[in-house]
Amino acid sequence: MLCMPASSHTQFSLDELAGRTGISSRTIRFYTSRGLIAPPQRRGRSAAYNEEHLVRLELIRELQEHGFGLAAIESHLDRIPLDAPVSSVALHGTLLAPWLANRPELLSSDELVERSGRSLTDGDLHTLESFGVIAPSAGGYSTATALLPLAMQLIEDGFDSTTARSVRDLFERYGRAMAKELASIYNAQIRPAASKRGATLDEVSEIVDRFKPISVAALVDSYERAVEDIHSRAKSEGRKSAPNS
């Protein structure tokens, strides 16, 4: 178990937010002044930040680590309303991921606890590992820091390591099946055309890389529409089964 003093999971002081994100208090104030994050709520003389601030700052930090300058970050965040829910901000990070190198951050045990916002039980660690958010490594944990706040919220929602592993296995199984079918399309239709025009192996690899973000975006869009359809049907069935008033 990894321990730290107890604190709120939904509201943070400026210092707590800085500890959770690894971004200095001064920089957070600067981002607020530039409109990159929403102003904090006030608790007397103190500022109160929430999960929306946390996830948005994680996205900013990830963009910065991959070489995005301030102007480019502002341009990207202009497309995300300041009052966008946590899931929407995270979705932008997911759609952006195929363009960025996968660079998990190595965190010590103490750093992982601080970034998680509370003490971590052995069960929490197993669940984070089952989600694929952390992986034990020499000197600490290799961590997908942009996904850590969402994974912690799912743990609070009742996800355990068994559920997380089941979900991950499901995505891996269907992900492999989709990749296999896409490979068949590529080999039958795209590769012959590329070979015919004399494309090198490096150029063929670039074609695959360019196709990856489109595939991810299409997959996310299909998933979102399917979930919305399920919700709509559930609401419709609920109205039909409701007793007449």
Mean pLDDT over residues 114-134, rounded?
Answer: 92
Dihedral of the alpha carbons of 36, 38, 43, 44, in degrees to the nearest 10? 70
Element (DSSP H or E) covering residue 48? strand 46-50
Structure-model confidence comparison of residues 128 and 82, the more confident one: 128
Mean pLDDT over residues 20-48, rounded?
Answer: 89
Per-residue pLDDT at 32: 93
Structure-model confidence comparison of residues 22 and 68, the more confident one: 22
pLDDT band at residue 3 using 50, 70 and 90 as cut-offs: low
The terminus-to-terminus CA distance of the chain in angstroms comes to: 52
Q: Rounded distance, CA 44 to CA 52, Å?
A: 21
Q: Which two tokens stand for residue 139?
A: 């000197």
Judged against a pLDDT cut of 50, whether residue 165 lies above it is answered with yes
pLDDT (tens digit, 9 = 90+) per residue, 173-229?
A: 888 888 788 888 878 887 788 778 887 777 777 777 667 666 776 777 787 788 888
Q: Which residue has the tokens 């609401």?
A: 235
Per-residue pLDDT at 5: 45
pLDDT (tens digit, 9 = 90+) per residue, 118-127?
A: 899 999 999 9
Secondary structure E strands in the chain: 11-12, 41-43, 46-50, 105-107, 134-137, 140-143
